[in-house]
Structure 1
Amino acid sequence: MRDKGWDPAWGSGLELWDKKQDRCVTTVQPEFGRTIVLPHGPASYHGHTKPLQAPDGRPRRSVAAYYYTSPLAGKQHGDESASVFMKTHRVDRVKALARMLTPPVVWLLARKVSGRA
């Protein structure tokens, strides 16, 4: 018995077919914990050609997950991948420098005194 009690005589093995779809290359029987990884594309030659013969309508359970990546992923194309730097005002740069050089407690006190805390 497989798949926590699944009997291969009940059918529903996953059939993997050749590209011409004229012969089944192999059949993978359901087995609890088994993982099958298949590439997914315009054509996937797999399936079940024989009907399920489980007693009392017992279901055959499976989980399918798909992972998609763009063909452009990881490739630089034009200015889209370039960093864009915004011009900052001199006041902003001075304030940023002051924040780097001043202890945080001074900034907290300044916010409290100014009423922006």
Structure 2
Amino acid sequence: MKYIDLDFLEAEFDTIQQNFNSGTPFRWCTFDGIFKSSEAELVLNAYPAVEDGKWDGTTYLDQKNKFQKTKFESGSVFDAVFAELNSDEFLGWLQRVTKLEDKIIGDANLFGGGLHQSINGAFLNVHVDYNIHPETQFHRRLNTIVYMNKEWKDEYNGHLELWDLSNNNKVQIAQVAPEFNRCVMFETNEISFHGHPKPLNTPEGINRKSLATYYYTKTRPESEIAQDHNTIYVNTEGVAGSVKRITSGVKALLERINKK
């Protein structure tokens, strides 16, 4: 593979597998170096600017100032990168790491995934993801996010938060800085709550960049099956979170009015 460093992934396989399968209350892990060092630079340099007008911008009650891109020119850097992230070779590695009982299936159309870029003020409230792909009806089982941000500072916010909200808990179990070439993997189920609810506080010209790929199986354990649902958001910030939702909702409404 040109971009994914399979030699590194195999060398670190035991550690990554152990970390992933020991994550609680849902399985997760993080590691640096999924892309080869030189190729990671190519990926970063190929990242299109938000201003190029080819992004799908989204602002709603529970997310703000997030841009997404899922279509790429044939032969381009991102066409090749996402092809590798959905390749049989990488899917086989994921299968061995996660020990999922059914065959892992990629999504070449990148529904909900692809390139993500968030600008100053952006947030994504804590949530669990939709559980069924709307076109294939496959079960969503695994998220892989690769961050592409050099010298990210804590004061920028934008850290991925993982939460335990099971059995009446309300505990943040991890906070992951979105550093350059850092991969976060976590299983997707009814308790895999995650997000970056704190609005970005970035200077002009610095955006939060990531590549997201989601993986599926045709079935899942009976104990994990739930009624089909879309993204389910929760408020982990109390009154401040409620105010933030209202403000974001007003912005979204005004954007839609101005487009008419």
Which TM-score bucket, shorter chain as reference?
A: 0.5 to 0.7
For residue 8 of structure 1, report the CA deviation from its aligned partner. 1.9
Q: Which residue of 1 aligns with 2:194?
A: 46
The one-letter amino acid of 1:3's match is: N
The one-letter amino acid of 2:200's match is: L
Q: Which has the higher contact order (CA 8 A, sep 6+)?
A: 2
Secondary structure, in 3 states, of the residue corresponding to 2:155? helix
2:175 matches 1:27: yes
Q: In structure 1, which of residues 55, 59, 70 is the aligned counterpart of residue 203 of structure 2?
A: 55
The one-letter amino acid of 1:6's match is: W
2:156 matches 1:10: yes
Please report the TM-score for the alignment, with normalisation by the length of structure 2. 0.25
Secondary structure, in 3 states, of the residue corresponding to 1:52? coil
After superposing on structure 2, the runs of 4+ consecutive aligned residues of structure 1 that deviate more than 4 Å are none
Task: State the alpha-carbon separation in 2 of the partners of residues 60 and 71 from structure 1.
Answer: 34
CA contact (8 A) 2:164 2:191 kept: no
For residue 5 of structure 1, report the CA deviation from its aligned partner. 2.7
Aligned-CA RMSD value: 2.2
Please report the TM-score for the alignment, with normalisation by the length of structure 1. 0.53
Aligned length: 71
Task: State the alpha-carbon separation in 1 of the partners of residues 188 and 205 from structure 2.
Answer: 30
For residue 65 of structure 1, report the CA deviation from its aligned partner. 0.5
CA gap of 1:57–1:3, structure 2 versus 1, over 3 A, is: closer
The one-letter amino acid of 1:70's match is: K
Task: State the alpha-carbon separation in 2 of the partners of residues 22 and 57 from structure 1.
Answer: 35
Instruction: Could you tell me which runs of 5 or more consecutive residues in structure 2 were left unpaired when the two chains were aligned.
Output: 1-147, 221-260
CA contact (8 A) 2:152 2:177 kept: no
